[in-house]
Amino acid sequence: MKMNIIKHFDLPLYSERLKNGLIVNLVPKMNVSNVYATLSAFYGSFNNDFKPIDSEKYYHAPLGVAHFLEHKVFEQESGEDPFSFYTKNGADANASTSYQKTTYLFSGTGYLKENLNYLLDFIQQPYFTEENVTKEKGIIEQEIKMYDDVPYWKLIERTLYNAFHVHPLKYPIAGTVESIRSITVEDLYTCYNTFYHPSNMFLTIVGNFDPKEIMTEIRNNQNKKKYKPMQKVELASYDEDDTVIKDYDIIKASVEIPKVTLSYKFNVQDYDINQLKYYLNTFFELKLGITSKLNEALKDNSLITGSIDIDIISTDRHILIVLLFESKDYQKVIEMIQKELEDKQVLEKDLNRKKKVMKSACVYRSDNIYSIASKINNNLINYHEVVLDEYSLIDALNVNEFNEILTTLSFENKTINVLKKD
């Protein structure tokens, strides 16, 4: 077990890759009373095309199978409900599927060893049958239909669909009603056996515990189980175009005030994607964020309700900046945003101010066990290593490089999506 001190925060990080390949990261934080544990797979909704174990041919999984699998892993042959187990042990449990990972978690103040062993055991003992898979289809179909009635999700899903040509990021995480109906027991086992091997998973624990004692517990649990050695999962690549599919779309929905996304698609192959994310986020925050002059002007003229939300979505080749707002006069707002973005120069004093804000956010996150775990997990997903030293990256941002990069980026590839009554 290797121990490092996370720079600037004086937090110890204990790391080890077990014999079966499982990555373990432990951050003891003794000034809190609870513990937060997550077990994740490098497997999300856009990992649809891959070579299964012992196969040289690519396999195309039905849309939504990663999310379906998340549901079915909770099914135990004994009939025991994992949620009930954690409730009895005074812990909260949950799971989630994103585009890039599937995560199972619990948090609580006691019974850590029992809860941890149970987490490892129930996830590593799949039980899929024709009966329980068929039953789950109806449950997930209702979940999909429920999200169809949520205006925000409807708008975001259409935005992604219109922004990407072939990359599976364009499809909903939960899939469609049609794709869910096509999922078989064989599909689930193929995906599980490929992506849920310990060498493709990582365990992160943050909170009040003895790291040596807990690492021993984890090793003992994993040593009891036998796994074949496995190579890195081979994923298909997608020849995604820089353009968007549809530059303007209107979605009918029962909303009083139109909801709008204005999204910009950038090719990032020639850039350091991590650095570019910081620069782009800073640029859009300076131009459109809650402290920007444009934001004040839009509010003063009652052109938007709330503020403009800014989100970054990325693949290995592209970054999509999604601007989301509500407005009755959305065409006027879009014109004002586009005009504001024409000036791509950033002043040094503004960049320095934002750097201070980003550093303070790092400090804030370092005192929260959930934020620490989330940061570790996101870094593992994006960089396949634990990178918590954001300070150095933020310090390295400079205005000359910032402005030079901005001038090389094309803002031409964009899609506007409007959710409104008619």
Catalytically annotated residues: 70
The residue type found at 69 is L
- For the beta sheet containing 102-108, the strands, ordered from the edge strand earlier in sequence to the opposite edge, are 2-6, 11-17, 23-28, 201-207, 35-41, 102-108, 91-97
> Which region holds residue 207: left if phi is over 0, alpha if psi is between -120 and 50, else beta?
left
Classified as helix, coil or strand, 294 is helix
The residue type found at 76 is Q
Token pair 């550093």: residue: 359
Q: Give the single-character DSSP code of 242.
A: S
Instruction: DSSP for 102-171, please give it.
Output: EEEEEEESS-HHHHHHHHHHHHTS----HHHHHHHHHHHHHHHHHHHT-HHHHHHHHHHHHH-SS-GGGS
For residue 317, which of 206, 126, 132, 164 has the smallest C-alpha distance? 164
Burial profile 167-183: b = 16 or more Cβ within 10 angstroms, e = fewer:
bbbbbbbbbeeebbeeb
For residue 198, which of 121, 131, 301 has the smallest C-alpha distance? 121
Q: How far apart are CA 179 and CA 160, in angstroms?
A: 18
Could you tell me whether strands 35-41 and 201-207 are parallel, antiparallel, or unpaired per DSSP bridges?
antiparallel
CB neighbours (10 Å) of residue 121? 14
Q: Which two tokens stand for residue 119?
A: 């987490």
Identify whether the C-beta of residue 251 lies closer than 8 Å to the C-beta of residue 155: yes
- Alpha-helix residue ranges (DSSP H) falling in 205-329: 211-223, 273-288, 293-300
In Å, how far are 28, 48, 125, 238, 265 from 159, measured between CA atoms? 41, 20, 38, 19, 11
Q: Which two tokens stand for residue 329?
A: 């006069």
